[in-house]
Chain A
Amino acid sequence: MSGPDPRPPSPGAGIRLAPVTADILELAAFRNRSADLERLAAARGVALPACGHLTRRPARLTLSVRPGRWLLLTAPATEGASAWEGAIPGCGAAVELSAALAATVLSGPAVREMLIRSCRLDLAAEAFPEAHAAATIMVQVPVILAALEGAMLLLTPATMARHVHEWLVTTSRPFGLSLAPQASLADFSGDNSA
């Protein structure tokens, strides 16, 4: 909003917003090298999911919203691009995006109902279940959405994160909004390999 939001918050937290600090790395496979990249990543203990999906391991989320591309989210200072560059020679590129993307976790019963105020994706639980991920546009900003267990992970370009956050706050208010200072990746990563 251009000025202070005149609307009072609604009682009851239907939505909880929490920024997440994570290191983010993009792996991009060179032509016809996706399988090799997946094999090398597996050797490092990283399962690369199919496009449109997400895998959770303790303190790590890996998701793909574009063929041959993966985003690896880890706790800060776990590993950098340089560690991967040497591990995937000739198979692909490892690009550091930790500062390029801002991560927010949205939880609470009204999250999906709030997000459809801008998101064109079908966010019904049966259409976008846990461990699904997609790239889309929200509030005119390119974003990535991933369904976690009882929550949604939202990745936005860092320079537009404040714009998206302001919209989330304004739009969440009627549903009951709770703002958390910070969330840890470990709170949401868990393990969905079973």
Chain B
Amino acid sequence: MTGPSRITQGLLTDPAKPVRFSFDGRSLEGLAGDTLASALLANGRRIVGRSFKYHRPRGVVTADKGEPCALVDVIGESGREPNRLATAVQLSEGLRAVSQNRWPTLELDLLAVNDWLGRFLPAGFYYKTFMAPGWAWERLYEPLIRRAAGLGRLESRAQGHAPPAEIVHDHADVLVVGAGSAGLTAALLLGSAGLRVLVAEQDVVLGGGTLLDTRWAPWRADACARLASLPSVRCLPATTVLGAYGHGTFGALETLAAHERARFHGMRERLRVIRVARVLLACGAPERLIAFAGNDVPGVMLAGAAHAYLRRYGVALGQRPVFFLNNDEAYGSAMALAQAGIRASAIIDARPQALAATRAREAGLEVLSGALMTEVLGRRSVRGVRVRLPDGSSRTLAADSVAVSGGHSPATALACQLGAPLTWVEAITAFTAEAPAAAGRTAGAARGVFGAAAAARDAELAARALAAELGRPAPEPAAWLPWPPDPAASPVSAVWEVPGSGKAFVDLQNDVTTADVRLACREGYEHVEHMKRYTTCGMATDQGRSGGLVASAVLAAARGVPLREVGQSRPRPFAEPVAFAALAGGEVGGHYKPRRRLALHDWHEQAGATFVSTGLWLRPLVYAAQSGWEPVLAEARAVRRAVGITDVSTLGKIDVQGPDAARFLDFVYANTFSTLAVGRARYGIMLREDGMLFDDGTTSRLAPGHFLITTTTANSAAVLEHLEFHLQAVRPELDVVLTDVCDQWAQFAVAGPRAREVVASLVGDLELSNEAFPFMAVAAANIGGVAGRVFRISFSGELAYELAVPARAALPVWQAILEAGKPHGIRPYGLDALNTLRIEKGHVTTAELNGNTSATDLGFERMLKKSGDFIGRTLGARPGIVSPERLQLVGVRPVDRAQRLRNGTQLVTPAARSASLGYVTSSTPSTELEGWVGLALLAGGRQRIGSRLLGVSPLHDETTELEIVSPHMLDPENLRVRA
């Protein structure tokens, strides 16, 4: 045995395998199979945490994932993680757990002063207390509250550790949620019918409530063995279904067992996205608490949890427990403890009589029928309880623990998320929710059918109905073991609250008392959803599982209406705490997002390129390791004065073919393409439906019905989607096919005064003279032995050719160009140099095509065709869009050529320095002009060319006098490109 409270052999623990762990730095010992909570209880640890608001000492209340109090930080290889449920953390060798929300220690928490100040800290005190003075909110109140709020501490995981979680997609015919008698029965029937079945059970073992009843052990073993033999059934223990998302989609979180964890290199969790035709909800009915003074003292536990700790782990909640209950099911806990040698001081049954009470008396237990527990004595642990007897007298009982049961509330969350309404069932004093038939069925305790055998019978009917709906009628079960009969039971009686002095909690996790609920009602928060938000009742990790209905009952009493009229707050995913790591799955680190790499990525890397992320692409920014403008300008000057080469393969490329290809392009572009001759390219602009500029690029006509569109890198995917949408939905009569060929073609721009000589040496028979191959000409060509295409287009403002070859041949062609250019001083240039070149020339990119500019703003108004429809035509003609007062593209240069420009610099007049007239979109030191040059969007910009303004950059505390010039600052006559 390990620990003073472990009194017998548990179903799940192995006495031959002690496990060392620590809690708050103290070394302790548990057993393999323990949870952290069971091991702490076995070691006699009563206080395991401090409450959220009042910092009251708290102990373990449940034995499952509905635990409201036993939240701890767990420190492991992957870091420190807060808010782990001690009831769900499987004990492992060397596990380190630390209590949270206390200072300086768990035993001596000075912040417990809040409890004494409780009368000044009612629900909603934030809203009332921190109203004034107004200045104090941001400076004083909020910092203080933020510091006090939150539980535990998160520390990032160690670098290089495997992802802590993964995401898996599952499909099945039926998802069975819960593996108690109902879930197992349903899974057996559905699996026998040949249906693909997934069984998700939040417990680490299958069996649910049958685990607590030794009579069911043979049946459970038989059922599990049969399930294991059915190939179409998969059982997922330690898997909680977190939410129902409609259309048969469910989310579930699996905690990996030790062997799986080892196989997956330390991975802890698996988020499952489950898609099914139907669901069978057999998720049981959690036990609920009763609100009475001191119902949160360490040592007060739900009766079912006390039963579970005994059966599963051999741990007793105390030596002299008192039971306070209102239903027959909870007697099982007292009887089991008695059989193990722990006799209850008394069983306080709120009902005047009950069959279970008779059976308990026959077993020698004292039952106080018709009595109520009014108060728990003790603060750090239970010392006794005060009882009000039926005759009105009081009695004090010595006790060291309390097991409480206020009845059982069917788990309705998933059914509600599927759209089921709540139905009040008086016989069980709880709501039920039936899954809509189209989604599946609810069965067993989840629909208020209590008793393991009755639940199994109910599930059998539900499973047969589902199997028939899915066209696979379930066969008669072959020689199943019979279900042990349920004992006769008396009905539960509603007991929600026992009036008394002292705090009676309805939400242990958020420190919400019955008084808080009544206060919310008095202050007008009468709806259960308003009460929840005002008091925080039912929020956080346990989602009010043990006290939610009790809070509704207190609210109903305060409002003077039946509980059925109040209802319960709407349950939303997730059903249990989910770490962000589980939601991220394996898409972390290098897998966080895709990286698009150029065919020549490795070459660029070896050439010393510094890369920049543009969208998903990794593009060479500059071929130098050091930062600064010098290497950039050196690359750009090579283009201006000799020749350079850059990789422009990232540009979007769309192949357009079909009898109506030209008509389609006329529709999607604002300028005309049907008049474009074969073998020629044209610059085009696309508008959005609202008339604003969408994208630009050159389009080439390769054959009468065959075009090649190029788009900006950033809009590549968006343009293809835009074209597909308009082709399929807006102009379906046009016979055109579109194919994304971006990755097919590697494309290189060879630019500079010596570009013709370099390209001519590679393209063999293609004549490159101005007459034979003028500006905007296109031709198929053999490029260094590779079949490709040559385009005479220029973004740099220099004589330039773009050479396109299949990406597989990118490297030999690139190297051939470099070799051919060597005598001419060719050098590769990156995105920064390309940017410098285009700014000098006045060419726009996404800095100017920013979604807020129109064709008129950027000086493209003459490209808009005068006749024929095109996307954006109507809305692009709105007066506000074409107004000359809008921000228009201009060039800017510092008057003092020694001063620099910055992107984002605001343009103002000396007389009104706070009234921005526009801003600098792009800037660079110039290769050919003196000093810096830039492009800007300026209100009424074209009318201001020739004037001067101030450029103000408050962030840098800089003011620069600027000259407003034409955006075409270099070679406005286009002599270079046509050279």
Binds A, one of B307-315, B414-422, B592-600, B875-883: B592-600
Chain A positions within 8 Å of B167 at CB level: 117-118
**Do A95 and B160 have beta carbons less than 8 Å apart?**
no
Q: Kindly provide the distance from the CB of A167 to the nearest chain B CB, expressed in whole angstroms.
A: 5
A5 to B166, CA, bound (A): 16
**Do B658 and A139 have beta carbons less than 8 Å apart?**
no
A127 contacts B by Cβ under 8 Å = yes
Chain B positions within 8 Å of A162 at CB level: 595, 597
* B162 closest partner in A (C-beta): A7
Chain A positions within 8 Å of B595 at CB level: 160, 162-163
A101 to B265, CA, bound (A): 32
Which residue in B263, B593, B598, B741 is a CB contact (below 8 Å) of A100? B741
**Do B657 and A93 have beta carbons less than 8 Å apart?**
yes
B134 contacts A by Cβ under 8 Å = no
Which residue in A31, A124, A173 is a CB contact (below 8 Å) of B171? A124
**Do B273 and A120 have beta carbons less than 8 Å apart?**
yes
A13 contacts B by Cβ under 8 Å = no
Number of interface residues of B (CB under 8 A): 49
**Do B658 and A159 have beta carbons less than 8 Å apart?**
no
Chain A positions within 8 Å of B110 at CB level: none
Known: A7-B265, A99-B807, A139-B594. A93 touches B739 (CB 8 A): yes
A6 to B617, CA, bound (A): 26
* A2 closest partner in B (C-beta): B590
Chain A positions within 8 Å of B809 at CB level: 99
B275 contacts A by Cβ under 8 Å = yes
Known: A95-B741, A100-B741, A100-B807. A139 touches B591 (CB 8 A): yes
Q: Kindly provide the distance from the CB of B216 to the nearest chain A CB, expressed in whole angstroms.
A: 33
Q: Kindly provide the distance from the CB of A72 to the nearest chain B CB, expressed in whole angstroms.
A: 14
* B810 closest partner in A (C-beta): A99
**Do B591 and A158 have beta carbons less than 8 Å apart?**
no
Chain A positions within 8 Å of B743 at CB level: 99-101, 157-159
A97 contacts B by Cβ under 8 Å = yes
**Do B593 and A140 have beta carbons less than 8 Å apart?**
yes
Chain A positions within 8 Å of B264 at CB level: 174
A41 contacts B by Cβ under 8 Å = no
Chain B positions within 8 Å of A62 at CB level: none
Which residue in B168, B597, B659, B706 is a CB contact (below 8 Å) of A117? B168
Chain B positions within 8 Å of A38 at CB level: none
Which residue in A7, A31, A117, A174 is a CB contact (below 8 Å) of B735? A31
Chain B positions within 8 Å of A122 at CB level: 171, 275
Chain B positions within 8 Å of A191 at CB level: none
Chain A positions within 8 Å of B166 at CB level: 117, 171
**Do A140 and B594 have beta carbons less than 8 Å apart?**
yes
Chain B positions within 8 Å of A167 at CB level: 586, 591
Chain A positions within 8 Å of B265 at CB level: 7, 173-174
B655 contacts A by Cβ under 8 Å = yes
A53 to B662, CA, bound (A): 33
Q: Find residues 127-171 in chain A having any chain B CB closer than 8 Å to their own CB.
A: 127, 139-141, 157-160, 162-164, 166-167, 170-171
**Do A93 and B589 have beta carbons less than 8 Å apart?**
no
Q: Mark A1-23 against chain B: 1 for CB-CB distance below 8 A, else 0.
A: 11100110010000000000000
A164 to B586, CA, bound (A): 12
A159 to B594, CA, bound (A): 10
A116 to B160, CA, bound (A): 24
B169 contacts A by Cβ under 8 Å = yes
B587 contacts A by Cβ under 8 Å = yes
**Do B744 and A96 have beta carbons less than 8 Å apart?**
yes
| B interface residue numbers (CB < 8 A to A) | 159-162, 166-171, 196, 263-265, 273, 275, 586-587, 589-591, 593-599, 616-617, 655, 657-659, 706, 735, 737, 739-746, 806-809
Instruction: Rank and list the top 4 A-B pairs by shortest CB-CB distance, nearest first.
Output: A100-B744, A122-B171, A93-B657, A99-B807
User: 25 A-B pairs, CB-CB below 8 angstroms?
Assistant: A1-B591, A3-B159, A3-B590, A10-B263, A28-B657, A30-B737, A68-B737, A90-B659, A93-B739, A95-B655, A95-B739, A96-B741, A97-B739, A100-B742, A116-B168, A116-B170, A121-B169, A140-B594, A158-B599, A159-B598, A163-B594, A164-B594, A166-B590, A167-B586, A174-B264
Supplied contacts A1-B590, A171-B586, 11 more A-B pairs, CB within 8 Å: A2-B589, A6-B162, A7-B162, A29-B737, A96-B744, A96-B806, A100-B742, A118-B169, A122-B171, A140-B593, A160-B595
| A interface residue numbers (CB < 8 A to B) | 1-3, 6-7, 10, 26, 28-31, 68-69, 90, 92-93, 95-101, 116-122, 124, 127, 139-141, 157-160, 162-164, 166-167, 170-171, 173-174
